[in-house]
Amino acid sequence: MIHGTWEPAPAARWEDAFLAGNGRHGALVFGDPEDDRVIVTHHTLVRPNNPPAGTAPPELAAALPALQDALLAGDTTAAERFTDGRPLRWVQPFHPGFQTRVRRRTSGTSDLPAHRAVDFTTGVVTGECGERRSEVFVSRADDVLVQYVTTPGPVVDIDLDHRLPGVPAELGAGRGVATACRETVLTLRARYPDSPLGYTGTTLLLTDTGRTTVTAAGVRVEGAGRLLLLTRVRRHEGDVDTARETDELRALATGDDLAALHARLLSRHTALHGAAYRRVSLDLGADEAERALPGSVLLRRPHSPALLERLFAAGRHHLLSSSGSHPPRLTGLWTGDWNTAWSGAFTTNANLNLQTASAAAADLPEVTAAHAALVHGQLADWRDNARAIFGTRGIVAPSHTDGASGHTYHFSREYPLHLWTAGADWLLKPLLDHEEATGRRDPRTSTLLAELALFYEDFLTRSGPDGRIVVVPSYSPENRPRGGSWGAVDATMDIAAARHALRAAADRAPRSDAARLRALADRLPPYRVNDEGALAEWVRPGLGDRYDHRHLSHLYPVWPLDEINPYDTPELAAAAGRALELRGSENDSAHGHLHHGLVAARLGDATRTEGALARVLTGDYFHDSLMSAHYPARDVYNADAAHTLPALLVESLVQSTPERLVLLPAPPARCPRGRLHGVRTRFGARVDLTWSPGAYRAVLRPDRDAEIDLRTPAGATRLTLRAGEERVVSS
């Protein structure tokens, strides 16, 4: 089994529940035949936690010139006072909605074996025990959570239950039931404490036969052969029209035959989910006996190719399933606890960026579209950030957002995230990669770049004696220099982002504007190599490196930018490699290890790529659900490792820019042979790669003409591609 996983017992913890989703609604499925629980989530379910006045960006622009003067004069701690005095405010925390429960009323537990599984190709989670079978999927076509139960048992109780771990005692919750003939509507209304906001869950329950009666908690169904539950949840202000919600669900449930209705809903969903999931696949030639093992057993075999195959497939399934109205959060689209670490938000200074890193190459435009939706939905707030904090035109992205607001208000002395100016460039990079892969420009992206260039034109006004621009204030997430404080001058990442953004904007601007933007980019300072031969995290002399840190912000020119690479800039690439060698792992955050691996792959360092992969596979980072944790020993539910691992494997085997294709740049030692199918390049070709010790074969299928620099283990050559003409490269 590559394209799915299974377990011989129900999930005992919500972290081990199998996952389904359509990028809006999510489901955590326990697979317990006696108490069939499905936790329902939605990207918009965030708990109000701040007064509106506390979520505006700080009005600091008038004090910016004085801060710049102080930093340039050598006051290394000046930025610690650049605040409006507010306490640290977290963004609105992501939380679960409720769980649907289908409980069998029996005198004891069944002694029949239980079996639960998830099929990544369809997004369907199944649970079986004897004749009883439950199927759950979240329709990508109809935006509804579908639960289909056959042979549920002589008597079952069904209800919606909001009592999940960490639920606020003050949450106002009420249930409703309306039943008629073979149809029952269950509702759960919840109101946040001290807020007009709340959410409502609606489930349309259909039965084929039997008798339904109302209970104190929900309904009891006796003698049914099949059950079909259609569920949605909506966050809202004030009251919600539950009649309208019910009518929309009824419109999906036409026809009397539940089996046919389920099949129709499933077919509509799999046409979208399956087509997207199947575009790219990885086969490492694993042993069939190991492929057949439950995921929990396979996780205890970290050197097994079968584990890597399954984690690649699971990461792809989870990434697709959590991307729709939004890209994935820190927890993807799922949580079973109201106390979600770091608010379960979108953190844009590494985590979101890493999770979506495979979108272009692994041919998931659905992920890019979700990412774009987040960006375009927050532009007005980004403009507010630029004006309020820096007194400029243009846009500045926050480093932490709940998806509802793009304002910068999460910052403190130790985390002066309001000083970070590189975020918008990093968030726009996937949109540019997608355009290069498809060969089609989105005018909205051009507008974003133009606005970002406006910010840099207004912000980059200070220069040194040599005429080079000084980026001040500057921040390297989430580190601080030796000889300085968190808010500093000339962080390497800020310089790289500004240079990239200005040049990208110049490529789309009228000629007169383009020349001005390129001239500004050319005045940015060059990167610095420190006394230890490493690419420095701060270009400013006197600011030393602190190596033991989970972030690798200063290696942004290597990954994702391609500005520093072994082919065009070998000396800087060597310095970047030295910086990677010296970098510690601090608290063993999974995102730090995988970020390390991605940079190593770009540098062609197979040993370090393998090392990063090994640390994640041997560190007990994965739950039985194959969703990951932030720390070793499955500590803190977090999607970084699960979603980023496919990107690392793709980057180690196939890399591309608009002008270059690199085959097998840094293959991990644990992957001596295999087949990677369907990778999409940024010059408009799809690649199928097979490899074994001493041999490789790549089939290129271009959809447009291209002249590229081809790099393989055999050397370098120029390759001309013609649209529609298949090319084979082999050794």
Q: Provide the 8-state DSSP code for 604.
A: T
Give 558-601 pLDDT, tens digit per residue: 999 999 999 999 999 999 999 999 999 999 999 999 999 999 99
Tell whether 219 and 119 lie within a shared domain.
yes
pLDDT in tens, 120-163: 999 999 999 999 999 999 999 999 999 999 999 999 999 999 99
* 309 located within any domain: no
For residues 17 and 161, state if they share a domain.
yes
Q: Are residues 351 and 492 in the same domain?
A: yes
Q: Which contacts qualify for 107-116: CB closer than 8 Å, 24 or more apart?
A: 109/34, 110/33, 110/34, 112/33, 113/8, 114/8, 114/9, 114/10, 114/31, 114/32, 114/33, 115/6, 115/7, 115/8, 116/6, 116/7, 116/9, 116/10, 116/11, 116/18, 116/29, 116/30, 116/31
Average pLDDT (432-439) is 98
Of residues 325, 382, 324, 318, the one with CA closest to residue 355: 318
**In 3-state terms, the chain is what percent helix, strand and coil (to 5)?**
30, 25, 40
Q: Which two tokens stand for residue 9?
A: 């017992």
Within-domain flag for 684:
no
The answer to whether position 63 is within a domain reads: no
pLDDT, residue 109, reads 57
- Examine residue 601 and state whether it is found in any structural domain, yes or no: no
Strands 706-712 and 660-663, sheet pairing:
parallel
Pairing mode of beta strands 155-161, 172-180: unpaired
Q: Is residue 37 part of a domain?
A: yes
Residues 347-401 have pLDDT tens digits of: 999 999 999 999 999 999 999 999 999 999 999 999 999 999 999 999 999 999 9
Digit-coded pLDDT (tens) for 337-356: 999 999 999 999 999 999 99
Q: Is residue 38 part of a domain?
A: yes
pLDDT digits (tens, 9 = 90+) for 27-59: 999 999 899 999 999 999 999 998 888 899 999
CATH number at residue 261: 2.70.98.50
Are the C-beta atoms of 551 and 595 separated by less than 8 Å? yes
DSSP state letter for 186: E
Task: Judge if 369 and 238 occupy the same domain.
Answer: no
Per DSSP, which regions of 411-505 are E strands?
none
**Tokens representing residue 420 in the block:** 């970070």
Segments in 292-364 forming alpha helices (H): 295-298, 305-321, 351-355
Residue reference for tokens 């200005």: 502
**How far is it, in rounded angstroms, from Cα 725 to Cα 44?**
45
Contacts of 443 by beta carbon, 8 Å cutoff, 6+ apart: none
Average pLDDT of span 237-262: 92
Q: 497 and 557 in contact (C-beta within 8 Å)?
A: no
Answer yes or no: are the C-beta atoms of 91 and 343 closer than 8 Å. yes
State the virtual CA torsion across 396, 402, 405, 406 in degrees, nearest 10.
10
> In the chain, count of helices (H) and strands (E)?
17, 29
Count of structural domains within the chain: 2
State which residues form the domain around 113: 4-46+95-278
Q: What's the mean per-residue pLDDT of the chain?
A: 96
Report residue 148: phi and psi, to 5°: -120, 120
Amino acid identity, position 668: P
- For 229-257, the three-class secondary structure string (H helix, E strand, C coil) is EEEEEEEEECCCCHHHHHHHHHHHCCCCC
pLDDT at 452 over 90: yes
Burial degree of 244 (CB within 10 A; 0-12, 13-18, 19+): exposed
112 lies in the same domain as 258: yes
What angle do the packed helices 511-522 and 443-459 form, to 10 degrees? 50
Q: Could you tell me if residue 395 is inside a domain?
A: yes
Q: What secondary structure does DSSP assign to 247-291, as a single string? A: HHHHHH--SS-HHHHHHHHHHHHHHHHHHHHTTSEEE----HHHH
In this structure, the number of other CB atoms found within 10 A of the CB of residue 242 comes to 17
Cα separation, 72 vs 489, whole angstroms: 8
Domain end residue (candidates: 239, 263, 278) = 278
| 142 shares its domain with 224 | yes
Residues 410 and 494 in one domain: yes
pLDDT at 101 over 60: yes
- Whichever domain contains 476, its CATH number is 1.50.10.10
Neighbours of 370 (CB within 10 A): 24
Q: Which residues contact 560 (CB under 8 A, 6 or more apart)?
A: 353, 357, 426, 429, 433, 598
pLDDT at residue number 107: 57
Q: Is residue 641 part of a domain?
A: no
Of the residues 539, 570, 586, the one at which a domain ends: 539
Question: Does 408 share its domain with 508?
Answer: yes
The number of angstroms, rounded, from the C-alpha of 683 to the middle of its chain's C-alpha atoms is 24
Phi and psi dihedrals of 484, rounded to 5?
A: -160, -175
Q: What is the pLDDT of residues 461-510, one digit of tens each?
A: 999 999 999 999 999 999 999 999 999 999 999 999 999 999 999 999 99
Choosing from 237, 260, 278, the residue where a domain stops is: 278
Average pLDDT over residues 612-630: 98
Q: What is the pLDDT of residue 295?
A: 98
Q: Where are the beta strands (DSSP E) in 426-571?
A: none
Does one domain contain both 11 and 127? yes
CA-based nearest residue to 126, from 29, 9, 22: 29
* H or E segment and range at residue 704: none
- Single out the residue of 188, 167, 169 nearest to residue 100, CA to CA: 188
Question: Are residue 153 and residue 268 in the same domain, yes or no?
Answer: yes
**355 and 261 co-located in one domain:** no
pLDDT exceeds cutoff 90 at 187? yes
pLDDT confidence band for 108 (50 / 70 / 90): low
Please state the separation of Cα 224 from the chain's center in Å: 41
Non-local (6+) Cβ contacts of 682 within 8 A are 360, 433, 436, 437, 656, 657, 658
Model pLDDT, residue 138 = 98
